[in-house]
Structure 1
Amino acid sequence: MTPGSGAAPSGPRRCHLPGKDKAWASALAQQLFVASQAFKRIAVGKFLLFKSNSYNSCWQTFPCIYSMSATVSPALPLDAALEQAIAEHQAGRYQQAEELYLGILEAQPFHAIANHNLGLLAGQLGQYQAGLPYLHKALSVNPDEGQFWLSYATGLLKAGQPAEALDIVSTAIARGLDNPASQALRLEAQQAADAAADAPSQQDIDEIVGLYHAGQYPQMENATRRLLEAYPESAFGWSVLGTALQVQGKDALQALQKTVALAPHDAEAHGNLGNAWQAAGQFDAAIDCYLRALEIQPDFAEAHSNLGGALLAQGRLQDAAESYRRALQVRPDYALAHFNLGNTLKELQQFDAAAGSYRSALLLLPDDAEIHCNLGNTLQAMQDYPAALDSYRRALELDPAYVAAHSNSGAALHQLKRHAEAEASYRHALRLAPRDANANNGLGQCLQALDRFDDAVQAYRSAIVWQSQHVAARSNLGQVLYLLERKEEAIASYREVLRLQPDSADAHSQLALALAGNEQPELAHPLYLRAVELAPDSAKALVNLGDFLKTSQRYDEAIASYRRALLIDAADAAVHHSIGLALQADNQFDAAIAAYTQALEIDPGLAIAHSNIGSAQQAQKLLEAARLSYMRALELEARFPAAHFNLGTCLSELGQPEAAIDSYLRALDIEPAYREAHVNLGAVLSNMGRIDDAIQRCRLALDINPGWEDVHSNLLFLLAHSAGQEPAALFAEHRRYAERFETPHIASWPAHPNPRDPQRQLRIGFISADFNNHAVAHFITPVLDNLVKSPDLSLYAYYNNQRNDHITARLRELMPQWRQIDKLSNQQAARQISDDGIDILIDLSGHTGGNRMTLLARKPAPLQASWIGYPLTTGLQAVDYYLTDRHFSPPGLLDEQFSEKLLSLPACAPFLPSHEAPTMSPAPALQNGYLTFGSFNRANKLSRAVIARWSTLLRAVPDARMFLAAMPSERISDTLRGWFAEEGVAAERLTFQLRTDNRTYLELHRHVDVCLDTFPYTGGTTSFHALWMGVPTLTVAGPTLPSRAGASILEHTGLEAFAARDEDDFVRKGKFVADNIMFLATLRLTMRQRLEASAMGQPALIAAGLESGLRSMWQRWCAGLPAAPFEALAGQETA
C-alpha cells in the first residue's frame, strides 16, 4: 500500500500567502514587525551588503557596512570581535553577525561602528524601524562621520519616514557632506515626502492592520476599498486589498496586478502576485512573478520557496528542490522550506534526504503534526514501519483528529501484519472522514488480509463511490472478487482499471491474469503481449508473460520470456527461479536444478530454491537428497509451509509416516488454510488405517474452506471406508457435494447439438487419471480390446494425469483419439469434449484421486456415466447412469443410494490374470497342520474395527495364523501388531510382509489358505488375484456397494458359502473351513476354472453388454426419455 492513505502522501504544500506567512508589502511589513528587537526570525531581507570606507559607491540600495577607520580605536578584544562580525555579515551569516555585534554592544554600548552595522543588518532583514535606534546612536556618538548621516537618512526613508529622512540628509549636506550620493538621497527623500502627502495616514494604516490581526477580513476588505476611493494610486492599498481578498478565498489577481503596476520594483508585490497565480493553477505565470521578484531581491527567501512550490506542481522536481535549497541558503531556519524540500525529495524517492529535511523542520517546529505525519510517510516508504508508527503517534498526540495520521498508521500496521490494529486505525480515520477513499481502500486491504473478503469488497466499493477513478481500489476490488471466485465481476473491475489507465502495463497484466484464471487464455495472451509493448524495458511485464506461457504449458516460450527479463536484470534471482519452475514442469529436472542453483548463487538465502531443488530430486526418486534439500530450506526459513509440506511428501515416500504427519502439521500450524497439506495429511492417516482421524482432518479443512472440492471428494472416499457410516448418511454427503459444486452450473448446462439419430455411430469418451499401471486400467483394457472392434463406436480418451508407462502406451493404441487434459481447466476440457462431439462420456474415477467431478458437473456430453473407479454414487445430477451388475447391486437393493440410474452389465468388470502369475500351489494348511488366514489389501483398509473382527475369528480358531502382506512400512506393521495385541492375539501368530513387486505379491499367496476381507470397503482386485491363486476370501456382505464387492465376486464364481451375513456368521464360516482343511484344499484346485467360466472371465461378453447398454441409453436420449435403470445383456437393445 502506498503510505499516505487518507491524504496526499506528502501533505498539502504550504505556500506563503500575502498577509499570512510573509509581509504583503514594505508599508504593511513595517507595521507587522515594528515591535521586534531580535533579528533571528525575520521574514524578508532586501538589501545588498558592501564593505567600504568610501562615501561615493555604496548608495545603490543601502549604506555600506562600516568597517574600522582611524577615528575609532576600540580595545584589542573588541577589535577582533568587530572584524569577525564584519566578516560574518559580508558572508551573509546574519545570525552569527548579529550575535557578535550584540556582544560588542554589551561590553561597549556606545560603540559607533557596532551600532551602525547592527542597524544596517536590521534593514537588510527588512526590520527598518527596529534598526533606526542603532543608526541614530551611531550618529550621536560620532556626528562627524558622514556615512552615519547617510545611513540614518536611508534607514528613515526605508522605514516610511520620508520627511524625517529629508531633514537628516539636508542637515548632512549643510554640514558639508555635499556629493552626488547625498544629493541623490535628498532627491529621493523629497519625492517620497511629496508622495506621502498624498498617501494614507498612519491612522488609516493602523486601522487596516488592526482588522487583519483581529481576523475581520470582510471589514478589512471594506476599509481598504474606502481607502482606495481616497487614494486610488496607493500601492499599499492595492496590496492590502489583494491580501484581504485572498484570505477570503476570493479572486485577488486584479488587485495584485495593480500593486505590481504601481510598485514595479517591489519584490514582495511580485511575490504576492505569484502566489495568486499559483493558487489559480497558473504555474507558468507564477514562476515568472517569482523570478522577477528574485531579480529585484536575490535573497528573498519566500520567493525562492514559493518558486519551488510552482516548479513542484509542474513536476519539475529537481528544479523545485534547488529552489528550496536556495531559500535555505538565505534563511537556514526557514522551517517551511525544510518541510517542502522534504516533500520534494520524497517524490524523488530520495527518502534518507527527505527524512533529514523533515527532521530539520521539526527542530524548528516540533509541534507541527503535519511534518510528523509526512516524516512517518517517508519512513514507511523506507520500510521502517515501527519508526513510521512513532511519527504518526506523535502527530496524533498533537492533533487527535488528523485523518491522514490515523489512516497511515493503519497502512504501517498492515505492513507489519498487525491487521486487527490496522483495522482499528482505518475505522478511526473513517469515523472522522467517512468519505475518505484512501482510508476505505486501506481498510479493504486490511480486511482482505484477515480473509474477510466480503467485508473487503464493501470497503473497496465505498472507496469507489467516493472517488470513482480510484485505480488502486478498483484493482484491489478485482483481486478480492477473483479470490471469491466471482471472476466475471473481477474481470469487469480490471477492465475499468484499464479504461482509467489505458497505457499501463500493470493494468493490462492484471486483466490478463483474471482472464487466464477464468479459462479465457485466448483473451489473456494479447494483453500480456501488449503489456510488454507498453513497457519493453520492464522485467516485470516479461515475467508476467512468462508465467502465463508456463501455465499454458508453452515452456520453451516461457523460458525465452524469462531470459529476456534477465537481459534487463541479470541479477534477479526470482527470474532464474521461474526458469527452474518451467524446466521442472517440462520434466527437465537436471536443467531445473541448474536454474535453481543459479538463483542461489545470486541469493544464497532463497529458501524456496532449495525446496524446489528438493522437489526436482524427489521427482527423480533421489529421496534422501530431496530430504536434505528440504531441510536446508527450513534452516534458512523455519516458518516455510511449502518446505514442511514437501518434506512431508518425501518422508511419506521414505516410509516414515509419523515423521510425515509431523511435517504436515507444522505446515498447517504456519498456514492453517494450506489445502494440499490437509489432503496429504488425511492420506497418510488413511494409509495408516486411521480412517476416522483422516475424516476429522478433512472436516477441519472444509470448515476452513467449504469450496475445496478435492478435499470434499477425499472426505467421501474416506467415509466409504468408515464402518460407522449409515447408507443414507453416506448418500446425503454425496448430495451435499453436488449442491455445492454442481448446482451453480446447472443453469448453464449446454443444449447439446448432437444429432438425435438412434442408430448412428456413437462417440464414446472415457475420462480417467488411471490410464496407467493401475487396477482401473487392468479392468478396462480387456473390454476396450473388444469394443474397438465395433464399427458402431468411436472411442476417445481424456487422460487427467502425466504418468505414462507401458499400460498408457497400450491404451493409446486402443484409443488413438487421445486427449491430455490434466493441465486444462474445466472450461477448456468441457470445450474439448464438446468439440469432439462426444455422445456418452464415461467417468472411471468417481471421487478418487485425480477425478474431474467438477468437469462432469458442467455436463459436457449429452449422456454421462460412472464406472469401475469408485463404488458409490457421484452425487451429481449430470451423471445419468452408474454401471454395475446384478450381483454387485441386486435390483432394488441399492437404488436409493445413487443419484444415477443403475445399468447392470453381465459383470461389472472383467478379470484377466496377470501374465506373471505363478502356478497355483497346494493349500499350505495341508503341510502346516493349521489354517493360515491372510490379507493383501492396502493398509488404509485395515482399520481398528477390521482388526477387531479378524481377532474375534483368530481367538475362535486359536491355532490359526495370520499373514498380512502389502505393508507400506515396518511402522504400519508395528501399529497393526499393537492393535492385534490389544485384541489378545499374540505377535507370534502374525507374519507381516512389506509391499513387493507384482510377481512376488502373487507368489506370496502360497502361504495363505483363506483371505479375510476388509469392511466396509471390501476387496476387489485383491480378491480377484487371490481367487486366481486358489485362495477364497471370507467376507461379510454389507448394505452399501463398497461392502458388497467381495460378495459379488463370490456369487459370480459360485462361492456364496464364503459370504457371511454378519460377524457371527463370519466367525462360524471361518471355524468351518478351519475344521475342514481337505474341503478347502480340494476347492482350491477349482478356483481358476470358476473365474474363467464366470462372466467376469469373459471380457467379450461384458463388452457386448456394454455396447448394448450404451446403445439403449442413447436411444432413450434420442427419444427424449429420461434415464432409467435397466439390465444390458449381450446383443440386446432396450429402448
Structure 2
Amino acid sequence: MNANALPAVPLDAELQQAITEHQAGRYAEAEELYLAILQAQPYHAIANHNMGLLAGQVGQYEAGLPYLHKALSVNPDEGQFWLSYADGLLKAGEREQALEIVTSAIARGLDNEQSQGLRSRIETAIAGTPTAQETQHVIALYQAGHHAELEAASHALTQRYPDSDFAWSVLGTALQLQGKDAFEALQKTTQLAPNDAEAHGNLGTAWQERGMYDQAIDSYARALELNPDFVEAHGNLAAALQAQGKLEQAEQAYRQALALRPDYAKGHFNLGNTLQAMQRSAEAIACYQSALALLPGDADIYLNLGNAQQDLQQWQAAIVSYRAVLQLAPQTTAAHANLAAALHGAQDYAGAVTSYRRAIALHPDDAKLHNNLGRALQSLEQPEEAIAAYEQAIALDSDFTQALSNLGLLQCKQKNYTAAIEYCARVLRLQPDDAQACGQLAIAYGAAEDHDNALKYFKLAIDLAPGNAANHRQLADYYSTIKRYPLAVEAYRRTLELDSDDSETHNHMGVALQELEQYDAATAAYECALELEPKNISALCNLGSTQQAQKQLEHAKQTYLAALAIDPAFERAHFALGNCYVLMNEQLLALECYHKTLEINPDYRDAYVNISATFSNIGRIEEAIETCRKGLAVCPLWETLFSNYLFLLSHSTEIDPQALFAEHQRFSDTFETHIAKGRGEHSNSRDPLRTLKVGFVSGDLHNHPVPHFLIPILENIADDAQLSLYAYHNNPCNDDITERLREVIPHWRQVEHLSDPDLGQLIRDDGIDILIDLSGHTGKNRLLMFAAKPAPVQASWIGYPLTTGLQSIDYYLGDQHFTPPDELGDQFSEKLLLLPACVPFLPSKLAPSVQPAPVLTNGHITFGSFNRTNKINRQVIARWARVLRAVPDSKMIVAAMPKSEAPPQLAAWFAEEGIAPERLTFEGRTGMAQFMAIHHRIDICLDAFPYCGSTTTLHALWMGVPTLTTAGPTMPSRAGNMIMRQVELDDFIATDEDDLVRKSVAMAANPMLLGAYRFSMRHRLERSVLGKPKLITEGLENGLRIIWQRWCEGLPPISFEAPVAVPNPPIGL
C-alpha cells in the first residue's frame, strides 16, 4: 500500500470529480472541489485526507498536517490514514511524532511491508538528525551572537549528520552572519530539504549576493511556491527584480509582501526605493514615512526620505531629514553632502558650504564633493574660494569634465578669459563630439571678446548637432550680445524652424527686433511668445518696453499691469511700470511702483537708484538721500549708488561742508584702500620737457554740458605739439558732439565694455602721463579704476563740483572764484590747480538776438529759473517766495520742468508760501532754440541753492539776463558767484538771503538799469576769461606741465595758480 494512495471506496459524484482532477495533476481544481466538500461536511474523512495529500504534493507539508490529522481522527480504522499522517509528519520535519504514529499503527495491527518500510525510513531520518541537546546548543550560540562558535558547532554537525538539512541550514546562517560565502551550505540545504521554503529563500539571497539575479529569482519563486505567504521571499524577490531594472514587477512584489505584513518596515523602505527609481518621489516619501513609523531610529530611511524630498525641491523638509540622519550617524558622508545640496537649493549657501566641508573632512578624495563645494561658494559670491574648490576637484580627477566646465565658466565671470578658454578647451578635448562643450568654449571666447573664435565654436556646436534648437538659440543670443541684431534675428528664425513652440525664442527674437527699431516685428514676436505661453511675464514686460519706446505709454502701462495681474510678485514688472510712470510724469505713481519692487525684493538694486532719482526730480532731496542710505545698507559695496548718494548730498541743505567732505572720504575708505594695495610702479619716462600723453575719462562725451565746456579748450590744445590727447569714452552713445570731439582728440577709445582692471591696463599700455577724470561722482564714472592709479599724475575737472575723495587723484582743476583755496581747500582731498577760469563758455548757435528787458513793456518784473527740478528744494521755494512777496507785482517763470504745468510738489510749496498760482508760469523742457527764446520774457533769474546753476546761468547771461545769487560754503553753491564775478556783476551777488531780497527790490525799482545791463551781457562774457578759451588753455597747458615736472622731480602735489603770460584785463564797463 502506498502511503500517499487515494482510498478505493464508493464515492459520490462530487468527490469522484475531485479525485479525477487530483489524479490528473490539476491541483488547483482539485483543491477547489475538496474545499467545497469540506465547507459542507467539515468532517468528511476522505476529503480531509486527500486535501492533506494534495498540500504535501505541492510542498506545503505543514499546511497539510491538520487535514491528515482530522481524517485520522474521524476514521481511525482506516489504515491508509495512519500511514499518510505519519509520512506527512516525516516530510514536515516532525520525525519523533511520525515515529510515534507509525508505531501506533503497527500496534493496532497495521503491520505490513508498507508500514515497516515507513518506520525504517523514519528511524533512519531520526538517526541522521541532531539531538535535541545539540540543536539547543547551536540555537543558544545563535541567540548569544557567538557567530564564530556557531560556525564551528554547525560544521561539526554537518560532519556528524551529513544529511541533516538543519545542520547545513545553520551552517549557512553562521557563514552569512560573518560575511562569509555560505553558498554551498545553502545549496546543500535545499538539496536535503527541497520543500523547505525558507531554505530556498536563503539560497536566493546567496545567488543575489553573487549578482546572479536570474537564479535568485528562481529560488525566491520556489520558496513562494512552497509558501505563498513567505513575506521575506516576496521582499527579496522584489529586490532582485529591482536590480534587473524590472521596477514594475518589483513594485508588485513589495506590495504583496506588505499586504501580507503591513508592519514590514524593510518592505516599506525598499518599495520607497523602487518608486524613487521610477521617479515617483511623492509616493516614495509616503513609503519612507511608513517605514520610519516602524523604525524611527533608522538613518538609512531618513537619508532616502531626504533624497526624495530633495527631488521634489522640498528643501526644508529634506534638510530636516538629513539632519535627522546626522543625529543618528554623525559620520555619514552622504548625509553631509546631501544636506549641503538641500541647503544650496534653499539658497542657504553659507550652510551648504559648511556641510560640504564636513563631508570633505570625512571623504577628502571625493572630487564630486569639491566640485559641489565650488558651486556653493560661487553662489555665495566667493569666487576665489570657488576656484580653489574646482581646482582641487580637478587635481583629484583631471578628467572631471563637470568641474572643468564649472571652473571655465567661473573664470569667464571673473574675466580671467585665458584660464576660462583653457578649461573649456580641455572639456572639449575630452569630449570632442560634445556640442555642449563646444558651446561652453564659445561662451568663454565670447566673454574674452574673441568674436571670431566664439562664433567658430557656436557654429561647430551646430555642426555637431544641427537638429538641436538650443545650439542655434545660443548662436542667436550671442549675436544679440555683440549687437549683430540682423544676424541674431536670422539665427532666431532658424531656431524657430526647429522648435517653433519655444516661447522664449520668440521673446528673445523680439528683443533683437526691438533693438533694430523694427517695432511692429518685435511686437509680433512677443505676441507669438504670449500665444504659446500666455503667462510669459518676461515677454509681456518686453512688449511693454516696445510700446514704451514708441511713446505708446498708456498701452505700455496696461501691458505691465497685465503682467502683474499674472504675477503680482514679479518685481521687474513693477520696476518697468515705474519707469513708464516717470515718462508719463507721474512721479508719485512711479515711486509706488519702485517701492513695491523693493517690498518684493529688497535686493533689487536699480530700484534704489530710481527711487532716489525720482525723489530728486521732484525736489525731495532728503528722501532721495535716505533711499540711497537704505540701498547702501543692503549693498554697502555698490559704488554706483554710493556715488549717487554723494551727488545728492551736494544738493542737501541739511549737511555742512565738513560732513559732506567726510562722506566723500568714506567713499575712499570703502573702496580705494583695498584697490590701492594692487598699485604698481609707473614706468613713464621722467623727462620733464617731453611731449605729454594726456587722457580724458568720461561717460559724457556726447550731447552733454561737459563737451560744451571742453571743446573750446581742446580745439586750442590741438595746435600744441607738447600734448598728445587720448579719450576713454565710457558710453556707447555717440552723436554729432562725439564726432566733433573725435576731430580734436586723435586717440579715441570706447571703453564701456572694459572692466576697471582692463581699462587701467589699457591706460598703462597707452603710456598716459596725466589722466583726467571728467565725471567725478556722476553717472558712468570710472573712479574705481582711478583708485588703482594707472597714470603717474591724475586729476578731476568739470564733471563734478566737489572732491572725489580719492587719494589717488592728485589735483582738482578750479579757479580763484569757484574754488578759492583759503575758503574751500580743506574740502578737497586733491590739491587745487587754479586756472584763469574753471571752464570757458561756448554759446549756443541757436541763441537768438537779445531783446529789451520785458519790464520796460509789461510794467512788472519777471523773475525766472531754468534750474533742473532736483535743485529746487523746499528752502529754495521759500527764498523765491520772499522775493515775490517783497516785489508784490512781480511774476515768475519756472522753466525746464518735466511738463508744461506746475509739478505738484512745487505748486504745493508755492501755495504754502502764499504765492498765488496766477503769478507763476511753468514751462516744460523744450529744444534749445525755444529754451533760449524763453529768456526774452524774463528780467532776472533767481539762483537755486545749495547747488547753484552754472550752464543755465551762462546761457541766461548770453541772452542778457543776470542771475541773483549768493556765495555758499561749498563749490556747488558758488557757481553763480564765480560766473557773476568773472563778468564783473558783483551787484548780483548777495551776502545772504536778506541781502538777496533787498537786491531784488532794488533791481525791480530800477528797470532802466536792468535794460542797460541786458545789452552789455554778451560783451561782458566775451571780454571775461569765460569767453577766452585760449587763455584758459594756456593756463591748463602750463599747469599740466608744472604738475608733470613735480612728479618727475619726486615732489608731492601742491595747490597753485597756473601762470599765464598776459592775465586777462578788467572788462571795464
TM-score over 0.5 for the pair: yes
Alignment of 1:109-508 (within 5 A): 109-112=42-45, 114-116=47-49, 118-119=51-52, 123=56, 128-138=61-71, 152=85, 155-161=88-94, 193-194=123-124, 196-209=126-139, 212=142, 220-221=150-151, 223-224=153-154, 227-228=157-158, 230-231=160-161, 234-247=164-177, 250-253=178-181, 255-261=182-188, 263-264=190-191, 266=194, 269=199, 271-272=201-202, 275-276=205-206, 282-284=210-212, 288=215, 291=218, 305-306=235-236, 309=239, 312=242, 316-317=244-245, 319=246, 321-322=248-249, 325=252, 333=260, 340-351=270-281, 355=284, 370-372=288-290, 395=292, 399=296, 405=302, 430-437=326-333, 440=336, 454=350, 457-468=353-364, 474=370, 477-479=373-375, 481-482=377-378, 485-497=381-393, 507-508=403-404
Question: Aligned residue for 1:14?
Answer: none
Partner AA of 2:290 in structure 1: H
1:304 Cα deviation (Å)? 6.9
Q: In 1, are the aligned partners of 2:343 and 2:349 still within 8 Å (CA)?
A: yes
1:345 Cα deviation (Å)? 3.7
1:1082 Cα deviation (Å)? 0.8
1:768 Cα deviation (Å)? 1.6
Q: In 1, are the aligned partners of 2:234 and 2:256 still within 8 Å (CA)?
A: no
Which of residues 902, 910, 922 is equivalent to 1:992?
922
1:558 Cα deviation (Å)? 7.4
Residue 713 (structure 2) pairs with residue 783 (structure 1)? yes
Which of residues 1035, 1054, 1078 is equivalent to 2:984?
1054
Name structure 1 gaps, 5 residues minimum: 1-54, 363-369, 374-394
Q: Kindly tell me: are residues 459 and 194 of structure 1, through their superposed partners in 2, closer, same or farther at Cα, counting changes over 3 Å?
A: closer
Residue 410 (structure 2) pairs with residue 514 (structure 1)? yes
Which of residues 945, 954, 957 is equivalent to 2:887?
957
Give the count of matched residue pairs.
Answer: 1018
1:347 Cα deviation (Å)? 1.5
Alignment of 1:758-777 (within 5 A): 758-777=688-707
Q: Kindly tell me: are residues 646 and 324 of structure 1, through their superposed partners in 2, closer, same or farther at Cα, counting changes over 3 Å?
A: closer
Partner AA of 1:465 in structure 2: A
CA distance in 1, matches of 2:563, 2:9: 82
Question: Aligned residue for 2:1065?
Answer: none
Q: Kindly tell me: are residues 921 and 837 of structure 1, through their superposed partners in 2, closer, same or farther at Cα, counting changes over 3 Å?
A: same
Partner AA of 2:28 in structure 1: Q
Alignment of 1:83-94 (within 5 A): 90=28
Q: In 1, are the aligned partners of 2:69 and 2:85 still within 8 Å (CA)?
A: yes
Q: In 2, are the aligned partners of 1:505 and 1:534 still within 8 Å (CA)?
A: no
TM value normalised by structure 1: 0.79
1:277 Cα deviation (Å)? 6.8
1:608 Cα deviation (Å)? 1.3
Q: Kindly tell me: are residues 855 and 917 of structure 1, through their superposed partners in 2, closer, same or farther at Cα, counting changes over 3 Å?
A: same
- DSSP-derived class of the 1:879 partner: coil
Which of residues 6, 11, 15 is equivalent to 1:71?
11
Residue 859 (structure 2) pairs with residue 929 (structure 1)? yes
Q: In 1, are the aligned partners of 2:217 and 2:240 still within 8 Å (CA)?
A: no
1:922 Cα deviation (Å)? 1.1
CA distance in 1, matches of 2:257, 2:914: 99
Alignment of 1:806-821 (within 5 A): 806-815=736-745, 817-821=747-751
Q: How large is the Cα RMSD of the aligned pairs? A: 4.6
CA distance in 2, matches of 1:644, 1:69: 96
Give CA-to-partner distance per residue, 1:550-593, whole Å, 9 cap, x none: 65667788778878876876544334434545665677666554
Q: Kindly tell me: are residues 145 and 936 of structure 1, through their superposed partners in 2, closer, same or farther at Cα, counting changes over 3 Å?
A: farther
Q: In 1, are the aligned partners of 2:299 and 2:329 still within 8 Å (CA)?
A: no
CA distance in 1, matches of 2:176, 2:959: 104
CA distance in 1, matches of 2:78, 2:1059: 136
Q: In 2, are the aligned partners of 1:157 and 1:189 still within 8 Å (CA)?
A: no
Q: Kindly tell me: are residues 520 and 588 of structure 1, through their superposed partners in 2, closer, same or farther at Cα, counting changes over 3 Å?
A: farther
1:1020 Cα deviation (Å)? 0.8
- DSSP-derived class of the 1:892 partner: helix
TM value normalised by structure 2: 0.84
Question: Aligned residue for 1:624?
Answer: 554
1:694 Cα deviation (Å)? 0.6
Q: In 1, are the aligned partners of 2:649 and 2:660 still within 8 Å (CA)?
A: yes
Which of residues 555, 573, 590 is equivalent to 1:643?
573
1:324 Cα deviation (Å)? 5.7
Q: In 2, are the aligned partners of 1:136 and 1:152 still within 8 Å (CA)?
A: yes
- DSSP-derived class of the 1:819 partner: strand
- DSSP-derived class of the 1:742 partner: helix
Q: Kindly tell me: are residues 1081 and 126 of structure 1, through their superposed partners in 2, closer, same or farther at Cα, counting changes over 3 Å?
A: farther
Question: Aligned residue for 1:377?
Answer: none
Partner AA of 1:857 in structure 2: A
Q: In 2, are the aligned partners of 1:546 and 1:562 still within 8 Å (CA)?
A: yes
1:243 Cα deviation (Å)? 1.7
Question: Aligned residue for 1:608?
Answer: 538
Q: In 2, are the aligned partners of 1:307 and 1:320 still within 8 Å (CA)?
A: no
1:883 Cα deviation (Å)? 1.4
Partner AA of 1:515 in structure 2: Q
1:946 Cα deviation (Å)? 0.8
Which of residues 764, 767, 779 is equivalent to 1:834?
764
Partner AA of 1:260 in structure 2: Q
1:815 Cα deviation (Å)? 3.2
Q: In 2, are the aligned partners of 1:256 and 1:272 still within 8 Å (CA)?
A: no
CA distance in 1, matches of 2:796, 2:810: 8
- DSSP-derived class of the 1:912 partner: coil
Q: Kindly tell me: are residues 566 and 1044 of structure 1, through their superposed partners in 2, closer, same or farther at Cα, counting changes over 3 Å?
A: same
1:821 Cα deviation (Å)? 2.4
The sequence identity of aligned pairs, in percent, is 47
CA distance in 2, matches of 1:1103, 1:1033: 27
CA distance in 1, matches of 2:933, 2:564: 44
CA distance in 2, matches of 1:864, 1:1019: 27
1:510 Cα deviation (Å)? 3.3
Residue 929 (structure 2) pairs with residue 1002 (structure 1)? no
CA distance in 1, matches of 2:46, 2:911: 113
Give CA-to-partner distance per residue, 1:867-899, whole Å, 9 cap, x none: 111111111222222111222111232222112
1:760 Cα deviation (Å)? 3.3
1:681 Cα deviation (Å)? 0.8
Give CA-to-partner distance per residue, 1:1074-1101, whole Å, 9 cap, x none: 2222222111111111111122212222
Partner AA of 2:184 in structure 1: Q
Question: Aligned residue for 1:1102?
Answer: 1032
Partner AA of 2:642 in structure 1: H
Q: Kindly tell me: are residues 324 and 675 of structure 1, through their superposed partners in 2, closer, same or farther at Cα, counting changes over 3 Å?
A: closer
Question: Aligned residue for 1:709?
Answer: 639
1:910 Cα deviation (Å)? 1.4
Name structure 2 gaps, 5 residues minimum: 429-433, 438-463, 1063-1069
CA distance in 2, matches of 1:337, 1:452: 35
CA distance in 1, matches of 2:1011, 2:8: 136
1:747 Cα deviation (Å)? 0.9
Residue 727 (structure 2) pairs with residue 797 (structure 1)? yes
Q: Kindly tell me: are residues 156 and 1067 of structure 1, through their superposed partners in 2, closer, same or farther at Cα, counting changes over 3 Å?
A: same
1:1038 Cα deviation (Å)? 0.9
Q: Structure 1 residues 470-479 or 230-239, which shifts more?
A: 470-479
Q: Kindly tell me: are residues 431 and 331 of structure 1, through their superposed partners in 2, closer, same or farther at Cα, counting changes over 3 Å?
A: closer
Question: Aligned residue for 1:31?
Answer: none
Question: Aligned residue for 2:816?
Answer: 886
1:785 Cα deviation (Å)? 2.0
Residue 583 (structure 2) pairs with residue 653 (structure 1)? yes
Q: Kindly tell me: are residues 123 and 833 of structure 1, through their superposed partners in 2, closer, same or farther at Cα, counting changes over 3 Å?
A: farther
- DSSP-derived class of the 2:822 partner: coil
Bigger relative contact order (CA 8 A; separation at least 6): 1
Partner AA of 1:519 in structure 2: K
